[in-house]
Amino acid sequence: MDPKSQRPEGRNRGVFSTLNVAIEYLNLAREKSSIAPAKAVFGSVCDLLPTIRDSTADRKDYVKLGLACADVCRVLDRGLKSKHADQLSQTLFEAIQHLTTTVAQIRGSIVELGERNLISRIFLANSDKNTIAAWRSDLDRILQIFETELALHTHVAVSDIRHDVASTREIVSDIRTIVKDQGVRNQTIRALTFERSILGESPPPPPRACFGRGDLIEKIVGLVETLTPVALIGAGGIGKTSIALTVLHDDRVKRRFGENRRFIRCDQLQAAQSNFLNRLSEVIGAGVKNPENLSPLRPFLSSTGTLIILDNAESILDPQGVDAQKIYAVVEELSQISNISLCITSRITTIPSDCKRLDVPTLSMDASRSAFYRICDNDEQPNVIDTILERLDFHPLSVTLLATVAHQNNWDNSRLGREWELRQTSVLETEHKNSLAAAIELSLTSPMFRELGPDARELLGVVAFFPQGISENNLDWLFPTIADRRNIIDRFCILSLTSRSKDFITMLAPLRDYLGPRDPMTSPLLCKTKDHYSSRLRLPGYLESDNPRFTESRWITSEDVNVEHLVNIFTSFDVDLDDTWGTCANLLMHLYWHKPRSTVLGPKIEGLSDDHHFKPQCLFWLSLSFRSIGNHMEAKRLLIHTLELQRGQGSDDGVARTLWRLGQTNRMLDLYEEGIQRSKEALEIYQRVGDAEGQGRCWNCLAELLLDAKQLDAAEEAGLRAIKFFLDRGRESAKEGRLSNISKQPSGSRPPLTGKIYFLGFITP
């Protein structure tokens, strides 16, 4: 039967197509070659391949052998393109002759095989295998000679050539070059590119959406186009892989690199140099088995422009991992190859120095909404979703998990809001067990983190506990028992578990929620931290601005949120902790003097039993917090409650102080008579106990109240008494009192008193 009339069916169709393409290639190579020995061997293989196609297409061993011959010829052809016959060494000439002989032996064996009957085929099967193995060994040796003698730019391992090895991109490139001159049919090219086992691996598909990353992606594409090594750094779930895949499939990148875009998931490798080099060889299509270093891959890598993305590279670049220095050296060399564009995504910052580092930020509110509603299309009560997204710090993975959980459970936004309030980030686990916890635990199980020792996890939990993070300036007094505290904190940042924001070590909200201690009482380090803050708060909160110690107590202005959270959480677990409620009172005092604002502690303070030792103090300073923000009615209500408790405890100083503050608060409410009465009651107590400074404060308050009540003579008398008390106490600032010139003039020469008397309010607010 005429071979051309055969119609291959089923699985043989791919074999026929591949063999036909290889035959066309070698025919063209033979016609173009000017070196006689090469033309001869190309012709021999051209004769061999149709024999295999027409006689033994169902024998995979012969097909592989034939294609191995074709591939060796291709290597020879590529190496000889810039050489002449007189440049061939004796070794190379002998290798070409040996290849010609081997090809002839293979063809003769196939012809003989066709002439055997069934019984002899079965009987001689083992002999065939041994013969084929010997020929494969010869081909390997010949290939090594060709590579050595010709200094080729491509390495092909014959031992791993599959049945469609001829369908490589290198062959496609060669045929396209020949097509330009010889007019080979376009369907040949299409047949080549159709074969599934093209040299190298195709990258994963791009994400369906990548919201809010346009500017960053544009920047990365620009760097990739110019072959600038780039590293995307960020915490787990920040979106590094999605960004990298979007870049990989960008139209400009496709035009720049064509099919030479490679993607390696490093977290799927067991960290070892051999595993990484093997995987690199597979992905780029070099076919080198078990390379010991980058040397056998270097000619292949340097032959054409290629984009290589190393995703989740922290798993191989961890300085404490297996073969860490060797792998780092390999990656560093990859970043230095002139035609390689290297892109790394990593949680850790230990990247080659040539890489342009880009820190991946969280999403914007708009991008977070888009990511959420792409999965969970429910626009009811959008404010509920906005609140949760904000509390997630717009962390991409958390947003995606939140939407997926709502979608899988068919929750409306109202139900999702309730589940969030009950479970916080523990709600972020899908039915397929994709969870935030899994992403975070990858960092906690890394060699670098484990190397930090037993203190690291609890210290990380303390950092997670505080909303503002911890100040680097306070590490020594906060954690005196951890000797290597600064190094550990640095490693947290390298691992992207934390980040630096001004002077603070901070953490994304989803990580904080997962890593923070569930019960603060079970964390000895956190309890010690609370004690350290309590000690600092015992410093006087009220100090005059010209006093050297005034600055000492202003630290609260940068850490007020942390201390407020500390008190709020500890009082939630044990309402009877006297030292914590003492810390609460001192915190409110410091806030009043240095950073007046409202506080979340109010309901808990009012919820204390009236016989609690610290309730009067906490209520007193809470009332002043309301006064400082202008809510004088609430301040008065709390002061009245405080007064009742102080009287019940029999505290003269507490009662007098509260009465004095009530006098001031009534003045702000235009209740002058009531204010005068409260101030006089306070004055009587201070006179009885002999507290001169307290008397001065009361006289000053009375002066202000009397002035506002238009009782000018009484106001002046009260103001002068206040000045006298402060001068007697050595308060030099009283000399700067804003008492008008009226008080210094004889009574007969006084001008009208309308609004010109300013008493000593600047001394005590």
Supply the pLDDT for residue 107.
78
pTM greater than the 0.75 cutoff: no
More confident residue, 264 or 151: 264
- CA–CA separation, 742 vs 734, rounded Å? 16
Sheet holding 340-346, edge to edge: 261-265, 306-311, 340-346, 230-233, 356-359
Cβ proximity of 383 and 406 under 8 Å = no
Residue 518 DSSP SS3: coil
Q: Which residue has the tokens 């197509």?
A: 17
Q: Which secondary-structure segment (H or E) carries 683?
A: helix 672-689
More confident residue, 572 or 86: 572
Supply the pLDDT for residue 12.
57
The string over 541-560, giving b where at least 16 C-beta atoms fall within 10 Å of a residue's C-beta and e elsewhere, is bebeeeeeeeeebebbebbb
Q: Which residue has the tokens 């422009």?
A: 305
Q: How confident is the model over 548-568, as pLDDT tens digits? A: 677 778 889 999 999 999 999
Supply the pLDDT for residue 726.
75
pLDDT confidence tier of residue 737, bands split at 50, 70 and 90: very low
pLDDT confidence tier of residue 4, bands split at 50, 70 and 90: very low
Q: How confident is the model over 584-619, as pLDDT tens digits? A: 999 999 999 889 999 999 999 999 999 998 999 999
Supply the pLDDT for residue 496.
94
Average the pLDDT over 154-161 and give the result.
Answer: 36
- Judged against a pLDDT cut of 60, whether residue 156 lies above it is answered with no
Sheet holding 499-501, edge to edge: 470-471, 504-506, 499-501
- At 310, give phi and psi (nearest 5°): -100, 100
Q: How confident is the model over 71-130, as pLDDT tens digits? A: 888 877 777 765 666 666 777 777 787 788 888 778 777 777 665 554 444 444 555 677
- CA–CA separation, 580 vs 568, rounded Å? 9
The string over 200-214, giving b where at least 16 C-beta atoms fall within 10 Å of a residue's C-beta and e elsewhere, is beebeeebeebbbbe
- Judged against a pLDDT cut of 90, whether residue 546 lies above it is answered with no
Q: How confident is the model over 434-491, as pLDDT tens digits? A: 678 888 998 999 999 999 998 999 999 999 999 999 999 999 989 999 989 999 999 9
- Judged against a pLDDT cut of 50, whether residue 153 lies above it is answered with no
Q: Which residue has the tokens 């201070």?
A: 686
Supply the pLDDT for residue 48.
82
DSSP 578-596: HHHHHHHHHHHHHHHHHS-
- Judged against a pLDDT cut of 60, whether residue 388 lies above it is answered with yes
Average the pLDDT over 339-361 and give the result.
Answer: 95
Supply the pLDDT for residue 180.
44
Q: Which two tokens stand for residue 71?
A: 């591939």
pLDDT confidence tier of residue 381, bands split at 50, 70 and 90: confident
Query: Which amino acid makes up residue 150?
Result: L
Helical spans, DSSP H, in 183-227: 186-194, 214-225
Q: Tell me the pLDDT of the chain averaged across its residues.
A: 81
For residue 445, with 0-12 CB atoms within 10 Å meaning exposed, 13-18 middle and 19 or more buried, which class applies? exposed
DSSP 572-641: HH-TT-HHHHHHHHHHHHHHHHHS----TTHHHHHHS-TT-TTHHHHHHHHHHHHHHTT-HHHHHHHHHH
pLDDT confidence tier of residue 579, bands split at 50, 70 and 90: confident
pLDDT confidence tier of residue 205, bands split at 50, 70 and 90: very high
More confident residue, 156 or 411: 411
Supply the pLDDT for residue 304.
83
- CA–CA separation, 668 vs 761, rounded Å? 13
Supply the pLDDT for residue 543.
55
More confident residue, 76 or 717: 717
- Judged against a pLDDT cut of 80, whether residue 163 lies above it is answered with no
Cβ proximity of 659 and 674 under 8 Å = no
Supply the pLDDT for residue 431.
63
Q: On the CB side of 679, how many CA atoms lie within 13 Å of its CA?
A: 25
Supply the pLDDT for residue 56.
63
Beta bridge partner(s), residue 500: 505
Helical spans, DSSP H, in 6-59: 12-32, 36-55
Supply the pLDDT for residue 63.
80
